[in-house]
Structure 1
Amino acid sequence: MKKLLLLLTFLTTVFSFAQDAIILSQENANEKGISPIWPKCEKSRQSPSQCFDQKLRTHIIQKFEYPDEALDEGLSGTVTIEFIINKKGKVEVLEVTGGHRYLQLAAIKIIRAIPKMKPGLWGEKPIAIAYTVPITFRKPQ
């Protein structure tokens, strides 16, 4: 009986900790309709995920700056940046790949400038949603 009680206690603890670390991908969040809500998307006629995607594209275009160092060295390339909108609605950069370091830093700056928003919800609980975005830097002609 003690072994059974110990096993149940262990399993309950494992499951309660596991639920705190749930991170859904953008695709899964969109399927389940639990995307984070970008500021001013509550009043949009689009779905929250469509509005989020549109606002993210617009944000990247508006915040895009080609780094001077990259221009001087003639650097170009695509930087892929993985980030989450955490349970508090804030951006956290997880991984950055591709491109030169100068381009990576510029991409991080763009993503970190994403405004705080309402987090995605799993039932009544806030949940982190992961996104992967490629940002292409082409040398101006």
Structure 2
Amino acid sequence: MKILLFALAFFAAFTTMSAQEGVTMRKSTTLKVAEVPPTWPGCTGSINQKNNCLRQKLAGHIVKNFKFPSDYVKGKVAIDMFINKEGKPVIRSVKGGSPGVQKEVKRVIMMMPQVIPGNMGGTKKDSDLKLAFTL
């Protein structure tokens, strides 16, 4: 009887497991774990679709909330940042543009909504983002 209960519990555990996004098993028994990028609220789809959606929504957020400073000079701005395990932005550096533009870009990025953090194999992780655009 104990063996039957154990077998049923074992079978139930394996049939109720859900697959993790980004984890695939190939026929050659090679396990491939892909990084799932941070996800902007409302973005769905494949890993590539989520990544593209995040970048589009972030660019739209910057355009919508950016207020041109008095020392504005048209130019390229590069942002080196990451989304931490809590889904919040952490800016490493902002290069290009005037000091006022850099300050405004930092302000706008820190206003972004909390996103679903990136993960690898179901474990949350910091996810690098490098952005470059012309203002």
What TM-score range do you get, normalising by the shorter chain? 0.5 to 0.7
Q: How many residues were matched structurally? A: 102
- 1:104 aligns with 102
Q: CA RMSD in A?
A: 2.2
CA contact (8 A) 1:84 1:128 kept: yes
Instruction: Give the structure-1-normalised TM-score.
Output: 0.64
- Which stretches of structure 1, 4 residues or more, deviate above 6 A after TM superposition? none
The structure with more radius of gyration: 2
Percent identical: 30
CA contact (8 A) 2:35 2:120 kept: no
Give 1:74-89 correspondences, 5 Å limit: 75-89=73-87
Amino acid corresponding to residue 131 of structure 2 in structure 1: V
**Secondary structure at 1:76's aligned position in 2?**
coil
Amino acid corresponding to residue 103 of structure 2 in structure 1: L
Pairing partner for 1:95 from 93, 96, 115? 93
Task: Tell me the distance in 1 between the aligned counterparts of 2:117 and 2:36.
Answer: 9
Give 1:3-18 correspondences, 5 Å limit: none
- 1:70 aligns with 71
Pairing partner for 1:113 from 111, 116, 123? 111
Structure 1, unaligned runs of 5 or more? 1-31
Is 1:60 equivalent to 2:62 in the alignment?
A: yes
Q: Report the CA distance between 1:125 and its aligned residue.
A: 0.9
**Secondary structure at 1:70's aligned position in 2?**
coil
Residues 5-54 of structure 1 deviation map (CA, whole Å, 9 limit, x = unaligned):
xxxxxxxxxxxxxxxxxxxxxxxxxxx35011111114x68821122122
Is 1:49 equivalent to 2:39 in the alignment?
A: no
Q: Report the CA distance between 1:134 and its aligned residue.
A: 1.9
Task: Tell me the distance in 1 between the aligned counterparts of 2:110 and 2:88.
Answer: 9
**Secondary structure at 2:52's aligned position in 1?**
helix
CA contact (8 A) 1:70 1:76 kept: no
CA contact (8 A) 2:82 2:91 kept: yes
Task: Tell me the distance in 2 between the aligned counterparts of 1:103 and 1:57.
Answer: 15
- 1:14 aligns with none
Q: As a proportion of its length, which structure holds more helix?
A: 1
CA contact (8 A) 1:79 1:136 kept: yes
